[in-house]
Amino acid sequence: MSDLSNRHLPNSLGFATRAIHHGYDPQAHLGSLNPPVFLTSTYAFDSAAEGAARFAGEAEGFIYGRVGNPTVAVLERRLAELEGGEAALATSSGVGALTALVWTLLASGDEIVADQMLYGCTFGLFEHHLPRFGIRVRFADLTDPAGLEAALSPATRMVFTETPSNPNMRVVDIAAIAAITRRAGALFVVDNTYCTPYLQRPLELGADIVTHSATKYLGGHGDLLAGAVVASQEIIDRLRFTGIKELNGACISAFDAFLILRGLKTLTLRMDRHSATAAKLARDLEAHPAVAAVYYPGLDSHPQHALAQRQMRQMGGMIALELKGGLPAGRALMDNVKIATRAVSLGDAETLIQHPASMTHATYDPDERARHGFTDGLIRISVGLEDYEDLRGDLLGAL
C-alpha cells in the first residue's frame, strides 16, 4: 500500500531523526505536522474497472480497511525503515501479528523450533494450540546454537525466539542462529518487543522476520494494543492479503496507528532513560542481601553479558529477579511497593511489577515451568521513566 505522502529519508540520517520523520510528508496533507487519522473503513473507486484493478493488485490505492489505511501506512513505512526491512504490517495486537504469521506461512505437517522460554501466550499458541492444526513446535535452548542443530528436522519451516526472553532475560545470538536457520532452509523470526529497533536490529544480523507487540515500548504509554511484523515485501504482501485479509482479520485501528507514531517520536529518549535507570536498579538489587539473583543483560553476572553488549545498543528496561525467600518474599515485595504498579505488560512510563508464574506466564503449568526453566519465585519489573532515586527507594524499601 502506498500513497502520496511518502517521504523517504536517506538512511545515513540518525535513528531518532528517522523515527520522527520517515514516511510522512506534511506538505502532502495541507501542512499538517502530524499524520491525519483516516477514520474510514472503505475507499471509493473511480470506476468499476479501477476498483477491479485495485483488487487485482494492478492499480495503486486502498480498497478496504482490513488491508490498508493511509495513517497505518505511515506507521508501516516507519517501522520497516527503523528495523531495516523492506516492508511492515501493523496489527491489532502482538498476538495478532503472531497468528497472522503462522496461519499464513505454515501448514499442517510443518514444524517450528522455538527457544525454550517465550512470552506466556506465545508459548500457549505454540504448545497448546498449534498441534491441533498439525503444526508441531519443538522447544530448544537457543542460547546454545547446538541446541538448534539438535532440534531441526526436515519439516522445520520456522525458527522462533525472543531476545532477551520474556520473562527471564535469556539472550540468543541472532547472527549464529540466523546462519544455521538459513542453511536449514527455514525462516528465522525474532520477537523484538523487549528491545525495539533502537536497541537491536535482528534483520541486519540475518533474521528473516521481526515481530513486535507494539503495545509495549513502541506505543510507550500503556494506552493501546497493537503489533507489527517487518520482513521482505513478498512476505508482508502474503501476510496482508492472506493473513490479515482472510485468516485472522487482526487489523489495527487508524487511531492506534496514530498513537504509535506519536510514541515513536520519543522512542530514543524513552529507551535511553529506561535503560539507564534499569542498569542502576539492577546493580542495586543485585547488591541487596534479600536478593538471590538478578537477571539483567547489563550485569557482569549475566551468562550472555558479552553477547548482549555486542548485539544490543543498550540493555533495555526489563529486569527479572529471585528473592532468597522465594515466592512468599516476592509476593510481599509486590504488595509493599508504593510507586511501582502491580500490573502485567511492559514498556510504559510507569514502573510495572508482576509475578510471571501466576500472571503473564500462567499458560505454563508447573511441569512446563520446570521443563522450560523458570521458577515460581521469579518477579519481573518493567522499569519506567520515574526518577531513579524514587524507584530505588521504593524497591529497596519494599525489600
Q: Note the residues at the interface with ligand 3LM (CB under 6 A).
A: 93-95, 119, 121-122, 162, 166, 191, 193, 213, 215, 225, 227, 344-346, 360
Cell readout for 182 is 538459513
Residue of this chain nearest to ligand 3LM (CB atom): 94
| Secondary element (H or E) of residue 72 | helix 70-83
The residues, any chain, with a CB within 8 Å of residue 131's CB and separated by 6 or more, are: 137
The distance of closest approach from Cβ of residue 378 to ligand 3LM in the complex, given in angstroms and rounded to an integer, is: 13
The distance of closest approach from Cβ of residue 197 to ligand 3LM in the complex, given in angstroms and rounded to an integer, is: 14
Select which of 66, 182, 238, 283 is catalytic: 66
| Residue 66 annotated in active site | yes
Q: State how far the Cα of 38 lies from the Cα of 65, in Å rounded to an integer.
A: 10
The residues, any chain, with a CB within 8 Å of residue 135's CB and separated by 6 or more, are: 102, 106, 107, 108, 109, 110, 111, 112
Instruction: Report which residue type is found at 154.
Output: P
**In the 8-state DSSP scheme, what is residue 320?**
E
Contact in structure between 62 and 46 (CB atoms under 8 Å) = no
Q: State how far the Cα of 106 lies from the Cα of 128, in Å rounded to an integer.
A: 16
- Of 70, 74, 72, 48, the C-alpha closest to 59 is 48
Which of 346/395 has CB closer to ligand 3LM? 346
Cell readout for 211 is 515481530
Q: State how far the Cα of 27 lies from the Cα of 50, in Å rounded to an integer.
A: 27
Across the beta sheet with 136-140, the strand order is 87-91, 227-231, 209-213, 187-191, 156-162, 111-115, 136-140
The distance of closest approach from Cβ of residue 98 to ligand 3LM in the complex, given in angstroms and rounded to an integer, is: 7
| Residue 313 annotated in active site | no
Which of 97/184 has CB closer to ligand 3LM? 97
The distance of closest approach from Cβ of residue 165 to ligand 3LM in the complex, given in angstroms and rounded to an integer, is: 8
Select which of 3, 77, 115, 119 is catalytic: 119
Q: State how far the Cα of 199 lies from the Cα of 263, in Å rounded to an integer.
A: 16
Residue 237, CB-side half-sphere exposure with 13 Å CA sphere: 8
Select which of 216, 240, 245, 380 is catalytic: 216
Helices 267-286, 388-398: inter-axial angle, 10-degree rounding: 40
The residues, any chain, with a CB within 8 Å of residue 309's CB and separated by 6 or more, are: 297
| Residue 265 annotated in active site | no
Q: Which residues are tagged catalytic?
A: 66, 119, 191, 216
